[in-house]
Amino acid sequence: MNNKVKVVALDPRMNPNIPGAMDIKGETKISSAQQKMISQIPSGSPTTMTQITDVNKGVPFRGGCFTDRETSMIPLGGYSMIQNMRCGHPDFEKRPGCRRLHTVADGTNRVESMFQLSKGKQTERHFFAQMSDGDVLDATTAPPGVTTGVFGTEVYSATGTIIPASWAVLRDWLLFADGTDVARIYSGNNEYVGSFIVYKGAETIPSIPSKGADYSLEVSTDDTTLYAVLDSLSVLTDYDCIFIKTYTPADTLT
């Protein structure tokens, strides 16, 4: 060949525009792919390595989305953000399309985040959408069903600058923090009580009672053969009562 080729030996991790070029013990190496490109260059066409690599700018698909790294630290084949694609190894798969869940838009608001609560002890499901105006909506109809009207009812309204919230589930409780208001906890519409104590005394009830029968386990189940025994329970003036503890404020007991 009469071609004049200038080979620049650099670590490809430092310069991804030169794949395969490297320097090992001072010796310059050229990959087989680069040799093939060189052989396809017309005779008498002086060029540089940069021009050679411009012939083919393909990047191998490694899969993986690195949202926690600086762009310059992402490895060759990695991406800082991927939308509507599922990351595989080494390929990508296009995500399925979106389905409409309601027929009427919630004004001009956009969705900031979404989360589904699925309780374990009891069958209760909620699908929440955090909107750009600070409202958190509870879907009227569970996906994939379609709601006639807006997405759902408002269960919480935040104040301040709205940013995508963080959601988490602890036991059967939903934890919600949007970075502006105080973090919230949601136990759903159905939640077992934490404790159920039947107290029978003969003197003034102390601030911290040490007597009583504990029926917490009996009332925290759907087994109807288990129950709290309230036989011969007198009135409060006789220092008889029951103590019920709930983990979150309750407005109804069943």
pLDDT in tens, 159-199: 777 889 999 998 889 999 988 888 889 988 888 888 999 99
Tokens 């209760």 appear where?
A: 124
Q: What is the DSSP letter of 205?
A: P
Checking DSSP bridges between strand 5-6 and strand 47-48, what pairing results, if any?
A: parallel
**Residue 151 binned pLDDT confidence (cut-offs 50, 70, 90):** very high
| Count of residues making up the chain | 254
Query: CA dist 106 to 75, 148, 149, 218, 243, Å?
Result: 41, 12, 9, 44, 44
Using CA atoms in the order 150, 155, 160, 164, what is the torsion angle rounded to 10 degrees? -70
pLDDT confidence of residue 58? 55
Task: Please answer whether residues 184 and 176 qualify as being in contact, where contact means their C-beta atoms are separated by less than 8 angstroms.
Answer: yes
CB-side neighbour CA atoms (13 Å) of 237: 0
Residue type for position 210: S
pLDDT confidence of residue 15? 46
**Residue 68 binned pLDDT confidence (cut-offs 50, 70, 90):** confident
φ/ψ of residue 115, rounded to 5 = -155, 145
pLDDT of 51 strictly over 80: no
Tokens 């589930």 appear where?
A: 169
CA–CA distance, 111 with 165 (Å, rounded to integer):
11
pLDDT confidence of residue 97? 72
pLDDT confidence of residue 35? 67
Task: Please answer whether residues 185 and 175 qualify as being in contact, where contact means their C-beta atoms are separated by less than 8 angstroms.
Answer: yes
CA–CA distance, 31 with 18 (Å, rounded to integer):
10
pLDDT confidence of residue 209? 80
The model's pLDDT over 69-85, given as tens digits with 9 standing for 90+, comes to 888 888 777 778 777 77
Mean pLDDT of 128-132: 92
φ/ψ of residue 119, rounded to 5 = -80, 155
Please give the share of the chain, as a percent, with pLDDT higher than 90: 20
Tokens 């798969």 appear where?
A: 93
To which H or E segment does residue 185 belong?
strand 184-186
The model's pLDDT over 6-42, given as tens digits with 9 standing for 90+, comes to 444 444 444 444 444 444 444 445 666 666 666 666 6
